[in-house]
Amino acid sequence: MPSLSVLPNLTESVSTLSQLAAAVNETDAQARCIDITHCRTIWNIIWSCLATIFACAWVAVHRNVPDPASSMTRVSLDRIAITICALLVPEYMIGWAARQWLVAHRIAKKNEGLAEEARRRVLPVQVHAARDSAIWLQFEEPYKILLLEEANQVYRHDQAMKTKAMTDKGWTGTWYRFHAKFVSNDDPKWTNTHGFFTLMGGFYYLEPGNDPRPLSPEEVENHIKNGSLELPDKSDISDKSKGDALSKLFASLQTIWFVMQSIARPIQHLPLTKLEIATLAYTSINVAMYGFWWYKPLSVGRPVRVRRSNVPDTPTPPTSPPSGKLVTLMKAVIGAQDHGVDLFRLSKVPTFYAGVPNNTELLTADAIALGFAMVFGAVHCIAWSFVFPSHAEKLIWRIASIALVGVPAIYIFLLGLWARKPESRKAITIFLLLLLIGIPFYLLARVVLLVLAFTTLRSLPPAAFETVHWTTFIPHV
């Protein structure tokens, strides 16, 4: 019948029209993307995502004070290495930041208490006069007496002038030495910035003939008790901080633009790419990291010199015996690696040094890091219903995203059990065993999501190339 003979031709025509329509749509999308003010290319997407990730990581990382003898090249390479760590394992970096934040707060609070006790002390000072007569004087606040050892002269803190015949008793003579020092009321108060500065190796013994080394928090406490620590003002520490205003401005503008356009695209029914979802996850971690280090000085190049005075050296006693490589690795994973660090033998604090947290601080920091690891995975779950080039890729993305949320959630539960029974060897064994099993699975999921974020760029809907017009007015790359 004629009608049946027409069917094959009709089917072929419909297929041809469908292919033609698809070609027209693709051509139309490409045509629309010629105008860079309204469209973007795959390279634009990749470049903006990578620029946002690197800018956030570079600005967020606050390294410790380097060895004073290190070259600029060595210092720069160390910062690049830490930034790479922030890109590869941001969860570990936020754990480091949280530990430093908790320990710095404790140090600041404790040292301010010690300084306050020193301010309240009014002790007699024995002064040996040039006439070989010994007398006793009572010094009241806010005067602070300092000894310049190389000149063997005494200076007044408030005027910094050589003292001769300057007492309320009317006694005249030259003061040669004294047996006590005082902390003045007008001295700076201990803040979280000072706590961070102590932890990051901000106070150093720098003397000719002796190897330079950082002071441990315990040695700083001894200097406070002895009244021999010239505490720098918070503004003086900020002056040592080399926070590049230009890089901070660039990172801030780039992050603001990226977050705003990521919010605006779904509102305007424009799809986000999987790479943009991954970038949002990295951005959330880096912003949180920057928050924990808000009061930590950035890129301090030179420490504050401290005189040894009559304060004895106090090596930091290791709190645990030497252990094997596996145990050392496990300690590093949970953030307990600093318990055996002896700053007495080092020329600088270790790269990821955060002091010696107590059990509560250690568990809290680990819980914070795991919580943000869950946030990192939850952000990837935003792409749960996105269009993927294949069903297999969508399924793999979902499984990997669940792994990024589920593994940290299990560890948080185990941390809770550990906190209730910290001495239970069974709980510790189970935790470490699951740690060994879960970490490789977690890292594999991370790698899978990163690979899919790039490979899925090969097949994007035309709307993915359109831009949100008003966000182009925000400076960005």
Q: Which of 229, 236, 223, 300 is nearest to 67 (CA)?
A: 300
Judged against a pLDDT cut of 70, whether residue 40 lies above it is answered with yes
Of residues 148 and 99, more confidently modeled: 99
Residue 374 domain-assigned (yes or no)? yes
Percentage of residues of the chain with pLDDT beyond 70: 69
Please count the other Cβ atoms lying within 10 Å of the Cβ belonging to residue 334.
19
Domain count, the chain: 1
Domain encompassing residue 328: 39-108+242-312+323-472
Average of per-residue pLDDT values in the chain = 76
What is the reported pLDDT for 365?
Answer: 93
Judged against a pLDDT cut of 50, whether residue 219 lies above it is answered with yes
Of residues 248 and 349, more confidently modeled: 349
What is the reported pLDDT for 396?
Answer: 97
Which of 77-91, 174-188, 431-445 is least confident? 174-188
What is the reported pLDDT for 424?
Answer: 64
Q: What integer is the mean pLDDT of 65-72?
A: 85
Q: What is the CA radius of gyration of the chain?
A: 31
CB 337 within 8 A of CB 349: no
What is the reported pLDDT for 472?
Answer: 66
Q: What integer is the mean pLDDT of 87-106?
A: 93
Judged against a pLDDT cut of 50, whether residue 298 lies above it is answered with yes
Residue 390 domain-assigned (yes or no)? yes
Selection from 265-269, 390-394, 416-420 with the highest mean pLDDT: 390-394
Q: What integer is the mean pLDDT of 84-92?
A: 90
Which of 21-30, 39-48, 163-172, 386-395 is least confident? 163-172
Confidence tier at 280 by pLDDT (50, 70, 90): very high
Helices (H) then strands (E): counts for the chain: 13, 7
What is the reported pLDDT for 370?
Answer: 94
What is the reported pLDDT for 372?
Answer: 95
Residue 274 domain-assigned (yes or no)? yes
Residue 381 domain-assigned (yes or no)? yes
Confidence tier at 9 by pLDDT (50, 70, 90): very low
Of residues 314 and 294, more confidently modeled: 294
pLDDT in tens, 318-333: 555 555 666 677 777 7
Q: Which residues contact 316 (CB under 8 A, 6 or more apart)?
A: 216, 218, 341, 342, 343, 344, 356
What is the reported pLDDT for 321?
Answer: 53
Inter-residue long-range contacts of 82-89, CB under 8 Å, 24+ positions, other chains counted: 82/351, 83/54, 83/57, 83/58, 86/57, 86/60, 86/61, 86/286, 86/289, 87/53, 87/54, 87/57, 87/282
Tracing tokens 């990578």 back to the chain, one arrives at 50
Which of 82-91, 241-250, 341-350 is least confident? 241-250
Tell me how far CA of residue 10 lies from CA of 1, 21, 22, 23, 237, in angstroms: 15, 16, 18, 20, 80
What is the reported pLDDT for 272?
Answer: 94
Where do the H-state alpha helices sit in 203-244? 217-226, 234-240
What is the reported pLDDT for 318?
Answer: 52
Residue 432 domain-assigned (yes or no)? yes
CA of residue 342 relative to chain centroid, distance: 22
What is the reported pLDDT for 292?
Answer: 93
pLDDT in tens, 158-202: 333 333 334 433 333 333 333 334 455 556 789 999 999 999 998
What is the reported pLDDT for 469?
Answer: 76
Judged against a pLDDT cut of 90, whether residue 425 lies above it is answered with no
Residue 69 domain-assigned (yes or no)? yes
pLDDT in tens, 394-418: 999 999 999 999 999 988 888 887 7
Judged against a pLDDT cut of 90, whether residue 151 lies above it is answered with no
What is the reported pLDDT for 33?
Answer: 55
Residue 287 domain-assigned (yes or no)? yes
Tracing tokens 């930041």 back to the chain, one arrives at 97
Confidence tier at 392 by pLDDT (50, 70, 90): very high
What is the reported pLDDT for 227?
Answer: 73
Judged against a pLDDT cut of 70, whether residue 117 lies above it is answered with yes
Please count the other Cβ atoms lying within 10 Å of the Cβ belonging to residue 239.
12
Residue 177 domain-assigned (yes or no)? no
Judged against a pLDDT cut of 80, whether residue 303 lies above it is answered with yes
